[in-house]
Amino acid sequence: MLAQTKQFRKDQLSQVNPPKFEKAEDMADLTYLNEASVLHNLKQRYYAKLIYTKDFKKDQLQQVNPPKYEKAEDMSNLTYLNDASVLHNLKQRYYAQLIYTYSGLFCVAINPYKRFPVYTGRCAKLYRGKRRNEVPPHIFAISDGAYVNMLTNSENQSMLITGESGAGKTENTKKVIAYFATVGASTKKEKDESSQKKGSLEDQVVQTNPVLEAFGNAKTVRNDNSSRFGKFIRIHFGPSGKLAGADIETYLLEKARVISQQTLERSYHIFYQMMSGSVKGLKDICLLSNDVTDYYFVSQGKTTIPNVDDGEECLLTDVRT
């Protein structure tokens, strides 16, 4: 009898980790991280009955909060405030679809990557004039606090929305603008025909978002609507708290994206909106063909985004409509 042998190409062989990584607790520490090394490490730990257990030193352990603090709305009230308790509290609230949590003066938001019905006009009215402890944590509560302080103290107020890519900065900024437009809306009816065509001042402020996003947002690996620029927004109010206007400063646009994109990304939304053909005559005016791949600078990566209609987005961007 002859033993069966199988030959492998050199590129099919996986490199072996040094002996010091045998039964590694964290496979991210492996020198060579591949399918074979992962399988080998898991197998060796299984044979050694190291399935779920892990030993910790006493100084590595952090104290657990009493059950009454489960899903706490304000983490500054926790008896033990440490990394583990913060992570646990945010996780439990997220599982309960509570995406906003206070931490002292800050409001922590976790992007659920799906739409929740918590930004309606009715919801905005719920937070108007309420103290922070009278309503659940929300970006509207932070916005209303700034609005009330502005009127009470007659001083400018600032809100900083920060986070990593995909955290929801753009969406939360839009909700803040929409809230201020709602609470600062004028009760006077516009009589001027030209003003009626343009829409109310509140509508005009809110409608700046589609234009800014079209020219400054793009699909990235982590975010389908990633802002590739910074913006500083000022919203102006009159003495009575009515909306008086707004101005927006933009800076640090990622210019390289205009001519170069990675495989799973695409250039700025406006290029694909223009190619959609939803605005009659636009392609003729710009002398565009019907195929986006005719243009190398905008077709090096993806040209579409799942569940996004560039034609509909173009109609929102078109300020003439």
Nearest to 223 by CA among 177, 161, 167: 167
Strand 106-109 vs strand 226-227: parallel, antiparallel, or unpaired? unpaired
The DSSP element (H or E) to which 52 belongs, if any, is: none
| C-alpha dist (Å) from residue 180 to 74, 76, 183, 192 | 24, 27, 5, 24
Is 141 annotated to bind ligand?
no
164 is in an annotated binding site: yes
Of 148, 154, 151, residue with least CA distance to 131: 148
Asked if residue 169 belongs to a known ligand binding site, the reply is yes
Q: Is 165 annotated as a binding residue?
A: yes
Distance CA 180, CA 123 (A): 13
H-run or E-run covering 146: helix 139-153
CB 276 within 8 A of CB 318: no
242 vs 143: CA distance, rounded Å: 15
Integer Cα distance of 170 and 163 in angstroms: 10
Residue 164 half-sphere exposure toward CB, CA atoms < 13 A: 3
Q: How many CA atoms, within 13 angstroms, populate the side-chain half-sphere of residue 161?
A: 23
Is 166 flagged in the annotation as binding? yes
Cα 170 to Cα 179: distance, rounded to the nearest angstrom = 14
Q: Is 194 annotated as a binding residue?
A: no
- C-alpha angle 140-144-149 in degrees, rounded to nearest 5: 155
Specify burial of residue 35 (Cβ count, 10 A radius: 0-12, 13-18, 19+): exposed
Own/partner pairs, 144-147, CB within 8 angstroms, 24+ separation: 144/179, 144/183, 147/180, 147/183, 147/184, 147/241
- Is 198 annotated among the ligand-binding residues? no
Binding-site members for ATP are 163-170
Binding-site members are 163-170
